[in-house]
Amino acid sequence: MYKTYSLRNTKIGNSNGFRLPAEFYRDNPQFADVDGWIEVTSDTTAIIKINPPDLREETEDGLMMRLFLDFALTTALKNQELQPYTAEMSATARALIDGVELDE
């Protein structure tokens, strides 16, 4: 499910860019011919987000939530931190919010 691909720096016209291996597109054809963006998170880390056509109309709030959940899931899978959500965990969570009222 989780796979890493090498990037190579390359010259594209008068700009620099990254070249992805053909294997990336064979394994992920949904990313061919789509736009996206890159967010630099530290001096050595960047997140590349590719927006398939059916998600381009998404609201900013929905996009940010999806990006957060994508990141959280990827990190959990990579670090093997996932665990089943149990009835006991649910009871603990319900106890934490018992009696809390929300203002509208």
Mean per-residue pLDDT of the chain = 83
Neighbours of 24 (CB within 10 A): 16
Q: Going along 1-104, which residue ranges are E strands?
A: 8-12, 15-19, 35-42, 45-51
Which amino acid does the sequence have at 87? A
Single pTM value for the model = 0.46
Give the tens place of pLDDT for each residue, 17-59. Answer: 888 899 998 998 888 888 888 888 788 888 888 776 665 556 7
Q: What is the pLDDT of residue 9?
A: 92
pLDDT above 80 (res 2): no
Provide the pLDDT for residue 88.
Answer: 93
